[in-house]
Structure 1
Amino acid sequence: MDLLTLSDADRAELHRRGFTDDEIATASFRSIQTFTQLEGATAALPGFNASGRYVCQSGLLSFVRTIDGEIVGFQTRSANGYRWASVEGNYRLPNGEPPLVFFSGSTETIYLVEGTSFKPAHVNAKTGAMVVGASGGNWQGSPQQLQELIRRYPDAQYVLLPDAVSVINPHIVPKYRQTAELFEANGSELHFQWWGQLEKDVEGDADEDPSWADGTSLLLASHQNPCHSCRRQVEVQRLIRPSEKCSLVSSSRS
């Protein structure tokens, strides 16, 4: 990690996204170019070949850490999107699960934030809380890692911060339900932070809109509609069925 630096362009992009230089250093962002040669690198290191050259996508590099802080991989971001660095095409952990990314911090409240780079790092930097990120919001795809998280921090309040529009996305809502079911099966509860984020150009994601912190915490295991008064209530009601055990719900306001 110490052999890599951060380019001026990538630093400027992080500043644009609201990171300070201290927060950038804490998150350990780096830049990397294809064919970079690193002393001591082998084909066992994700993204590198036997000659010690990096052979994956150039871009802004984000390290992926376990709950113990161990670096187990990384992703790069460029104009082509996010790409996992892999070993022979495999980026998964030895147990077969996709890695979650853990940003250490206080554990009274632990946030679940979609993504493995900017978004979870930003929430971690601004709150000081532990944050657990998942590529594509797929926490339910890594049950052993979630079980270990809950085992270590049984008294934490777990709060998921959904991206804008996601609560009306038919591909995302089932993931939330399955994740909530995993928490319940392991003796915990998962809450959903609602700050009116139905439209991205009105209310942004948690790393874009600081108003999320003033939102309402909704328990993902009761039986009401999370959006009583929003103008897209019909779509939300269709996707988040109140008869289902782990519907997104509101016990207070829309």
Structure 2
Amino acid sequence: MSGWTRLGRDCPICNGDRKHKDCRQSVESGLVFCHDENANPSGWIFRGFDKYGFGIWQDEADAREFSEKSKEERQRERLERQQQQRQHKQAQIAAQMPVEERHRWNRRLLSLLSLSQSDLTSLEARGFEPEQVETEGYRSVEQWQELPENFPSNFPGRTTQGNLAIKLPGILCPIPNVEKQIAGFQTRRHDDSEGRYGWLSSKVAPVHVEGELPLGVYQPEKTKGQAIWLTDSPAIKSNLASQLLGVPVVGATNGNFHGSPELTRHTLSVLSDRYQTTHLILALDAGDVKNRAVCQRWQQQYKFLTDLGYSVWFAWWGQVDKSACDIDELKPEQLKSIQFIALKDFEAIASENGGLEAKPLTKKEQKAQQREQRRQLAQSQYQQLSQLTAERFLTINTPNLNFDEMALEPGCVYILCSAKGTRKTEGVRSILPQFRNIYAWFSRIALGREECHRLNLTWREEMGSYQGFLKVGFCSNSSYKFNPRHLQENGLLLVDECDQVFDHNFSTICNRDGVRPLILNSLSAHIAAAVSGKGMALFMSADVTDRDVEYIKALTPPGVPVRLIVNEYQPERGLVIFSEAETPEPQVDKLIQTLEAGIPCFVIDDIKDGVRGCNRSHSWY
């Protein structure tokens, strides 16, 4: 560890009594960093906590010597030390093996190692399947593991003696980066007397990438959520969490993402683009809210990540103390108990359990907190109500839907989630001729009439007498007037913008004269009739959620397959800006600049009468 001396059992603060033996001393300043919160050693002065939660201690003799030096002398020495540190860091970075090259050598190392039966059993007990263990590349390593002579001298973890810097035997864990390259290794030690995990790194060949510790990035083949999760471990915990949740997970040593700022910025930028999300979830470990240093660390991470422009939440399932499960230890049936809480809620829980000290807020801070609470509540409710994690029948990725390629089968209920602009209407029109009877539900008359004309269906108000078959569209309010029996003859039940239809069904307008029970019963009856007569039911929307899926399943007769099809293609979207500024003038200036650039804009002004500031943009326009 460059610039530091490991103290182990020789720590003058805790006398080596701590289990993890992670105490260290700065070579430059002589300051001792120790995690013992109850220590009170004589001859030492407590100077506060560092960003990792270590207590900082200074020898009294050094303090006296420091106070005797002039301010100019201390400033000169500090600048000299900083210059030496910069030069030393740049020299280290220049000597480090590039990621592309180390990935090839890391793969070579894995090919030379094997996994013992006892380590395989241990990994299976942690939750891995045997084939997953092989795919992930876990291997067994011994103390000071031998390394072939042809490995480069700057191979991360190689010592001057030519072996690997592994102090204790254990399981070698590959750490993938966002490009799915092996950026380094951690060892899960059999003996945790010096900590359970340690990087494969040496003084002459550190594991750092551009001077920063690697991050572990795990990306599932199929994603279920709409957020990127962050944990305090780049190894096994993050891997298992990604597989359990079906979400991308990024792990940093001790959760210290701001300790690898450039890697974090790059990793999150790539994942945000790849998964179309700016939501981050911090996975608190069991007992974190009782640990003052850990709580302060999470606060620091929250600020760092929000400063990067992300919305950040904390995952909470009641893990107050160590008896609870960490995120990778939860059972699948426990996942529904996870709540996504805001910073204020995390701080409140931590304050209740001793992890943070409550402090009074100024009036200005109280108002700001109230605004943030409203915003966080709205975002939390939106995220919970808009997620789609239900099991998929089919996943596609296309800008132009082709229903013939989906091979839809009769006797089933299909739910299609596809973004606006992916030609859902044009696509469904191609399959309509194969049905004898069609009922199309809509939430609004204008939308329904327009869609019926595009689909060559008859709108209810334009319908005259009919013979033989009936292909008609109508608003939910009129649904109970259409007999389900027609759909028993090769019928299609089509519900476009189904989420809006469901909301409309429960609105006041759908209960005039107490007809809502008739409307709700009609929907269930139409589904049953369509699937029983060699037809099908098709629900479509760009905003299908778990709530919609569960509602449709509840309406579907038992034994009838309900199949979710998700089109992951996302058209390019415009920029949405929500301003909470006390005055609109700054935003109006930006609006006018945007209009001058020829970019169309749409403005919603909630200021009374819509006057202040808007007169300027209106006059310009």
When normalised by structure 2's length, the TM-score is 0.36
Aligned residue in 1 for 2:282: 160
Map residues 41-56 of structure 1 onto 2, 5 A cutoff: 41-49=151-159, 52-56=162-166
Q: 2:185 aligned with 1:74, yes or no?
A: yes
Aligned residue in 2 for 1:103: 218
CA distance in 1, matches of 2:151, 2:360: 51
CA distance in 2, matches of 1:95, 1:119: 25
When structure 1 is superposed on structure 2, of 191-200 and 47-56 the one drifting more is 47-56
Query: Which secondary structure state, in structure 2, belongs to the residue aligned with residue 177 of structure 1?
Result: helix
Choose from 189, 193, 196 the match for 2:318. Answer: 196
Aligned residue in 1 for 2:309: 187
Choose from 64, 73, 77 the match for 2:175. Answer: 64
Aligned residue in 2 for 1:131: 249
User: Shift in Å at residue 137 of structure 1?
Assistant: 1.5
CA distance in 2, matches of 1:179, 1:23: 31
Aligned residue pairs, count: 246
When structure 1 is superposed on structure 2, of 86-95 and 189-198 the one drifting more is 86-95
Query: Which secondary structure state, in structure 1, belongs to the residue aligned with residue 184 of structure 2?
Result: strand
Q: 2:352 aligned with 1:233, yes or no?
A: yes
Counterpart contact for 2:139–2:173, Cα < 8 Å: yes
Aligned residue in 1 for 2:327: 206
Query: Given residue 61 of structure 1, which amino acid in structure 2 is its aligned partner?
Result: L
User: Shift in Å at residue 140 of structure 1?
Assistant: 2.1
Counterpart contact for 2:215–2:251, Cα < 8 Å: yes
When structure 1 is superposed on structure 2, of 78-87 and 30-39 the one drifting more is 30-39
Query: Which secondary structure state, in structure 2, belongs to the residue aligned with residue 129 of structure 1?
Result: coil
User: Shift in Å at residue 166 of structure 1?
Assistant: 0.6
Aligned residue in 1 for 2:198: 83
Q: 2:130 aligned with 1:21, yes or no?
A: yes
Aligned residue in 2 for 1:114: 232
User: Shift in Å at residue 227 of structure 1?
Assistant: 5.7
Aligned residue in 2 for 1:178: 300
Counterpart contact for 2:157–2:200, Cα < 8 Å: yes
CA distance in 2, matches of 1:69, 1:212: 27
User: Shift in Å at residue 59 of structure 1?
Assistant: 1.2
Query: Given residue 203 of structure 2, which amino acid in structure 1 is its aligned partner?
Result: E
User: Shift in Å at residue 224 of structure 1?
Assistant: 4.2
Counterpart contact for 1:45–1:87, Cα < 8 Å: no
**Bigger RCO (CA 8 Å, 6+ sep):** 1
Judging by fraction of residues, say which structure has more helix: 2
Query: Given residue 186 of structure 1, which amino acid in structure 2 is its aligned partner?
Result: L
Query: Given residue 75 of structure 1, which amino acid in structure 2 is its aligned partner?
Result: Q
CA distance in 2, matches of 1:234, 1:198: 8
Aligned residue in 2 for 1:36: 146
Aligned residue in 2 for 1:7: 116
Q: 2:340 aligned with 1:217, yes or no?
A: yes
Counterpart contact for 1:193–1:212, Cα < 8 Å: no
Query: Which secondary structure state, in structure 1, belongs to the residue aligned with residue 166 of structure 2?
Result: coil
- CA deviation profile, 1:191-241 (whole Å, cap 9, x unmatched): 10000001121x211122232552110123xx345666x9x8252562698
Counterpart contact for 2:292–2:355, Cα < 8 Å: no
| Percent sequence identity over aligned pairs | 25
Query: Given residue 216 of structure 1, which amino acid in structure 2 is its aligned partner?
Result: Q
When structure 1 is superposed on structure 2, of 91-100 and 155-164 the one drifting more is 91-100
Which of the pair has more CA radius of gyration?
Answer: 2
Query: Given residue 74 of structure 1, which amino acid in structure 2 is its aligned partner?
Result: F
Query: Which secondary structure state, in structure 1, belongs to the residue aligned with residue 227 of structure 2?
Result: strand
Alpha-carbon spacing, 1:55–1:194, altered in 2? closer, same or farther (3 Å): closer
Query: Given residue 206 of structure 1, which amino acid in structure 2 is its aligned partner?
Result: I
Query: Given residue 155 of structure 2, which amino acid in structure 1 is its aligned partner?
Result: L
- CA deviation profile, 1:7-53 (whole Å, cap 9, x unmatched): 11111111111111122223221111233333632322122246753
Query: Which secondary structure state, in structure 1, belongs to the residue aligned with residue 292 of structure 2?
Result: coil
CA distance in 1, matches of 2:346, 2:137: 40
Counterpart contact for 1:124–1:131, Cα < 8 Å: yes
When structure 1 is superposed on structure 2, of 205-214 and 185-194 the one drifting more is 205-214
Choose from 260, 263, 274 the match for 1:142. Answer: 260
When normalised by structure 1's length, the TM-score is 0.83
CA distance in 1, matches of 2:188, 2:145: 16
Query: Which secondary structure state, in structure 2, belongs to the residue aligned with residue 54 of structure 1?
Result: coil
CA distance in 2, matches of 1:139, 1:213: 27
Q: Give the gaps of 5 or more residues in structure 1.
A: none
